[in-house]
Amino acid sequence: MHKKERANEVIHFLNLLYPEPAIPLDHKDEFTLLISVLLSAQCTDKKVNEITPFLYKIADSPQKMQRLGSKGILDIIKPIGLSKKKAVYIEQLSDIIVKDFSGKVPKTYKELESLPGVGHKTASVVMSQAFGYPAFPVDTHIHRLSQRWELTSGKNVLQTERDLKNIFPKKDWNRLHIQIIYYGREFCSAKGCDGTICPLCKKLFPNRKNPVICKKA
């Protein structure tokens, strides 16, 4: 099976399995999505979703987050990894959004990535899921599965993103990146599959015998 054929098989398989995948991070709007994605760095979505209802009950806008301040934010998000840095980033970016963007989350990569604590992946998720811009954010699950499915050599997440954008139709990007995340968690986890065990790995590579050694992001 050639790479393009494998890509088409991935789309078909995941559309059947996850026809309407929901965004895994709970949020109310583009601002709370931005904060949730920032909080999810080096932390599970499940843990973020446990914390954010308390945070957004108090501060669900940049103006309210400003008033809460980094200390108040930290008191709520302490169980999350890198909480001290993230609390400072959230206060700072909220201040910038209020002062420089009239209280609205900016809608370009350049502006989003200028915000404290917002890297390319976070900006891509917001552009994709908040504003509907075609994007393919790559997390550890997508990076790992793309290598197992031989869709990229996986030297780093930016290369993986470029390779996936080149092989998958743009119309599928926003849905597909969420589908792959769900599949990676449920069937093709880091320890639960080695490229020879899960249904899709076996379907794509029926004759594969040896485990796939993935390069970390």
* Active-site choice (45, 86, 121, 163): 121
Q: Helix axis angle, 140-148 relative to 173-186, nearest 10°? A: 80
CB atoms within 10 A of CB 128: 20
Using DSSP's 3-state secondary structure scheme, residue 8 falls into helix
Q: Is the Cα torsion angle 129, 131, 133, 137 positive or negative in sign?
A: negative
The answer to whether 46 is a known catalytic residue is no
Closest by CA to 89, choosing from 117, 123, 121, is 117
Q: What's the rounded Cα separation, in Å, for the pair 194 and 197?
A: 6
* Active-site choice (139, 170, 172, 216): 139
The answer to whether 121 is a known catalytic residue is yes
78: DSSP letter: T
Q: What's the rounded Cα separation, in Å, for the pair 205 and 217?
A: 23
Placement of tokens 């169980």 in the chain:
79
Q: What's the rounded Cα separation, in Å, for the pair 152 and 145?
A: 9
Q: What are the residue numbers of the active site? A: 121, 139
